[in-house]
């Protein structure tokens, strides 16, 4: 079978603002932007270019705000979890609770429109050796 994931789609009140936030978080590029949608892709020529799915932000009416926890979300794996959390907070992200307790190794955050995502701990040297 030949099939691939092309895009991960997010409803957004302000697609352009969401695209700018996520472009900064991920270091990706905005490749398409019109009034009702914005598209992010990995950096051109990077190992993820043409492999990782695009992220598409699609405008929804202002009264269609997010009301419950996302059923699909991104998990980000940085080299330095605490440094990335601080950087994401400086970009407008915030820590949130979805019921996780203090024992988990990830931090749940939300983007400026409230979409949750997780910042995972860094891989250990032993884990990296097996990748």
Domains and CATH numbers, the chain: 7-62 (3.30.720.120), 66-131 (3.10.180.10)
Average pLDDT, 10 consecutive residues per value, the chain (131 residues):
91 97 98 97 96 96 90 95 98 95 95 97 89 78
pLDDT at 4: 87
pLDDT at 129: 86
Q: What's the start-to-end Cα distance of the chain, in Å?
A: 26
Distance CA 119, CA 81 (A): 7
């Amino acid at each position: 079978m030949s099939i691939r994931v092309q895009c991960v789609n997010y409803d957004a009140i302000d697609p352009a603002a969401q695209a700018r936030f996520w472009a900064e978080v991920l270091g990706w590029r905005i490749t398409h932007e019109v009034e009702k949608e914005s598209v992010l892709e990995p950096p051109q020529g990077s190992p993820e270019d043409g492999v990782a799915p695009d992220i598409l932000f699609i405008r929804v009416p202002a009264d269609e705000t997010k009301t419950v926890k996302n059923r699909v979300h991104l998990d980000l794996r940085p080299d330095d979890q605490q440094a990335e959390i601080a950087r994401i907070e400086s970009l407008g992200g915030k820590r949130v609770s979805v019921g996780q307790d203090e024992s988990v190794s990830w931090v749940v955050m939300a983007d400026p429109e409230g979409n949750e995502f997780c910042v995972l701990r860094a891989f250990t040297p032993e884990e990296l050796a097996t990748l």
